Amino acid sequence: MKKILSLLLVLVLIFSAVSCAKQETQEEPQTEEVTKEEPAKEEKTEEADKEDQVFKVKTFQDVEVSYDKVPEKVVSLNLHTTENLVALGLEDKIIGTAYNNAEPLEEYKAIIDAFPKLSEKYPSLEVLLGAGPDFVYGRSSAFGEKGVASVQTMLENGIMPYVSKATYTEGATMEDTFTDFEILGKIFHVEEKSSEIIEKMKSQMKDVEDKLKDVKDRKKVFVYDSGTDQAFTSGSSLESDIIMHAGGINIFATEKKTWVKVSWEKVVEKNPDIIVINDYGDISAEEKIKMLKENSALSEVNAIKNDRFVVLGLPDVFTGIRNGDAISYLAESFYPEIFE
């Protein structure tokens, strides 16, 4: 009897071992299948990451531009765009500038003066291509008929262009300035610095707004840019928005175009309290003020009678690093009694 029981026990143990071995053999291929799938997952992730790195913007002339790499050789076509790049800490990437028709900010002057100058105004396309940029940044005029080349032409020559949004947007506001810095931050992977610049400007705007909260009668402002027979002035533009944030009203802000020519009779009719002089180029602000004072048609204008002139650098009113300071400066000039 003991022999029979021993024999049965041996048979049970043998059957159990065979069953376990068979089960393990069946499970092994499943483990191999999972292993084989892992590289496919990794490939998909890498492709998605590559897709995420391409940043697209629909810009001036309704052209979509893809920024698929961080630019390394940059040409800036206007002083305010050059200052923006320097403010973002990108001066080591700049290989050339153009149209430096005003004084740079003092803190950037030594840096900007050291950059190669491609042209006094806009360079030809041939000169630009000779510099070998992979990125070109400027305001809309740089990409217009009298500029260097269109956005599409830049793309066809292997250049990533970026056009300052506020310079081709009718009725541009400070929000467009913020957008420009946000986009530049993404293109150059300096989002933290661009956010810092935006927050500083917003803080400046809030400080001015708080100080002017009790002002009931806003100052009427006429912007004199240039012109003798007629006045070339700021219309529906970023400059008008800057003036508004400073507590003033541009008397020609309702004009549909960004820049407009108006008759001296219209200026007299609107009778501004203050005249803002856009300072740039070969004619000094002092010469412009002298010309306005000598214009007999303007003799009864309040701003002329009360000698209320405010001089503002032209780069201050194009989208850029100066905009926050421009709002503070204009507010202090419009309402000195509040800021004493």
At 66, which helix (H) or strand (E)?
strand 63-67
Q: Are strands 160-163 and 135-138 parallel, antiparallel or unpaired?
A: parallel
Please give the pLDDT value at position 146: 92
pLDDT of the residue at 244: 97
Residue type, 233: T
Q: Which of 88, 334, 98 is closest to 208 using CA atoms?
A: 334
pLDDT under 70 in the chain at which residues?
1-53
The 10s digit of each residue's pLDDT in 38-81 is: 444 445 454 444 445 688 999 898 899 999 999 999 999 999 99
Domain with CATH 3.40.50.1980 in the chain: 55-163, 214-334
Q: How far apart are CA 262 and CA 257, in angstroms?
A: 12
How high is the pLDDT of residue 30? 37
Contact 234, 252 (CB under 8 A): yes
What's the rounded Cα separation, in Å, for the pair 321 and 242?
13
pLDDT of 52: 55
CA 213 vs CA 136, 158, 191, 247: distances in Å: 41, 50, 32, 9
214-334 maps to CATH 3.40.50.1980: yes
User: Is 0.75 surpassed by the pTM of this model?
Assistant: yes
User: 10 Å Cβ neighbour count for 164?
Assistant: 32
Q: What pLDDT does 226 receive?
A: 96
The CATH code that applies to domain 55-163 is: 3.40.50.1980
| The pLDDT of residue 281 | 87
DSSP 195-259: HHHHHHHHHHHHHHHHHTTT--SPEEEEEE-B-SSSEEEE-SSHHHHHHHHTTEEETTTTSSSSE
Q: What is the pLDDT of residue 311?
A: 97
Give me the pLDDT at residue 45, please: 52
Q: In what helix (H) or strand (E) does residue 162 lie, and over which residues does it extend? A: strand 160-163
pLDDT value at position 340?
A: 81
